Amino acid sequence: MTDAAIKPPGLRTLAPPGRVNAVVMLLHGGAESSHEPIRWWSGPCLRMTGFGVDVALTGRSYGVAAALVRNRVRGWNAPALDPVHDARWALERIRQRYPDTPVVLVGHSMGGRVAMHVADDEAVVGVAALAPWTPAEDGVGALRGVPVLIAHGLEDTITKPADSLDFARRATAVTDVVRFELAGETHALVWRAPTWHRLVRSFVLHVLGKREPAGPLRYGLSLSGDRRLRVRV
> Is 80 exceeded by the pLDDT of residue 6?
no
Residue of 122, 121, 180, 123 lying closest to 148 (CA atoms): 180
Domain that holds residue 134: 3-232
pLDDT (0 to 100) of residue 206: 97
**Residue pLDDT, tens place only, 10-45:** 999 999 998 999 999 999 999 999 999 999 998 889
* Angstrom distances, CA of residue 129 to CA of 3, 6, 15, 37, 104: 30, 27, 22, 23, 11
Cis peptide before 17 (omega within 30 of 0): no
Mean pLDDT value of segment 90-103: 97
pLDDT category of residue 7 using cuts at 50, 70 and 90: confident
Q: Give the percent of the chain with pLDDT over 90.
A: 94
Are 132 and 109 within 8 A, CB to CB? yes
Distance of alpha carbon 231 from alpha carbon 190, whole angstroms = 19
Mean pLDDT value of segment 217-231: 97
Higher-pLDDT residue of 43 and 91 is 91
Q: Is 81 helix (H, G, I), strand (E, B) or coil?
A: coil
> Is 50 exceeded by the pLDDT of residue 1?
no
Q: Report how many domains make up the chain.
A: 1
| CATH for 23 | 3.40.50.1820
pLDDT (0 to 100) of residue 170: 98
pLDDT (0 to 100) of residue 60: 94
